[in-house]
Amino acid sequence: MKLHVLKPSVNNMAVRIFVRAANLEFTEDDVYGKTRTAEFLAMNPAHLTPMLEAKELPKGAMWESCAIMQYLCNKHEMTKFYPKSAEQRATIDSAGASRMSSVSGLNASPSSPPTIAKFPSHFSGPFHNRTEYGICGSFGNPPYNSGFFASCST
């Protein structure tokens, strides 16, 4: 699989961190200045990054950081980052949806991309005495980011 990124982008950083934390084999292509080329637009007409290129995908590519991380978790059964429980996934999905739909306020911080996160329980809202993981998360600074991580204890 190949990850097409703009290295300075915080939105791309989430997936770049995720594939490394998940120990997935991948190559990385910095597409700065290439997202409007005919070759790139043929794979990704939205010309967005990050973009995951993988032959098994229906159109050979997908984009959007949370969608990429969810796909990889599903494909590789990484329940540590994206649990099977619909209730636990709802917390992660809610954070991802908030990230995609917020343009201002506390939930939109360009310095806090959706990412894998491991936080002590005091950052986890009602989930106490466990370490929390999530693939989409931290928007702003505590206490505003509490509750945006899935309850996936280890």
Q: Which domain CATH number covers 9?
A: 3.40.30.10
Regarding whether 43 and 95 lie in a shared domain, the answer is no
Regarding whether 124 and 64 lie in a shared domain, the answer is no
Owning domain of residue 7:
2-75
pTM: 0.67
Task: Render pLDDT for 98-133 as a digit per residue (tens, 0 to 9).
Answer: 766 654 444 444 444 444 444 333 434 444 344 444
- The arrangement of strands across the sheet holding 61-63 comes to 27-30, 2-5, 51-53, 61-63
Domain boundary among 75, 97, 129: 75
Regarding whether 59 and 20 lie in a shared domain, the answer is yes
Task: Please check whether residue 69 is in contact with residue 135, taking contact to mean a CB–CB distance below 8 angstroms.
Answer: yes
